[in-house]
Amino acid sequence: MFTYKTQIYLHDTDAAGLIFFANQLKIVHNAYEQLLEKFGCSFQSMLRGGKYFLPIVHAESDYKTPLFVGDQIAITVRVGHIGHTSFSFEYILKRGKTLVGTVKTVHVSVNTKTRRKMPLPMRMRKALETYAKKQ
């Protein structure tokens, strides 16, 4: 299981000192980028001459309890569905043992030249399948 640890910073919050709702998605995206690095499929390689990229086509986010500046959180990332051209990740956000939020993202493999859906590249598919078996 992959876990990303971070904290809530001032720039993550609104005027009340609570996490701004859209920033929960930003924070889990940081976890996603770290997991891609672990897979050997970094954004750097995708953006510098890669043949595909993985845009998010759907995102949903639930907020279970408020987060404040300085809160330490852990985000566990799980592979959800793996399809022919897409996959999903499920994120569980915790402050200590307290569930503070959940997020789900759906990604589609897109050819960088044609901008059309394409089958998941074999390297990415294998990384997702291997990681899913370890969960």
Q: Could you tell me how many residues make up the chain?
A: 135
Q: Where are the beta strands (DSSP E) in 8-132?
A: 52-53, 56-63, 72-82, 86-95, 98-108, 110-111
Number of alpha helices (DSSP H) and beta strands (DSSP E) in the chain:
3, 7
| Catalytic status, residue 12 | no
| Catalytic member of 12, 14, 62, 71 | 14
Say if residue 46 is exposed, middle or buried (CB neighbours under 10 Å; 0-12, 13-18, 19+). Answer: middle
Active-site residue numbers? Answer: 14
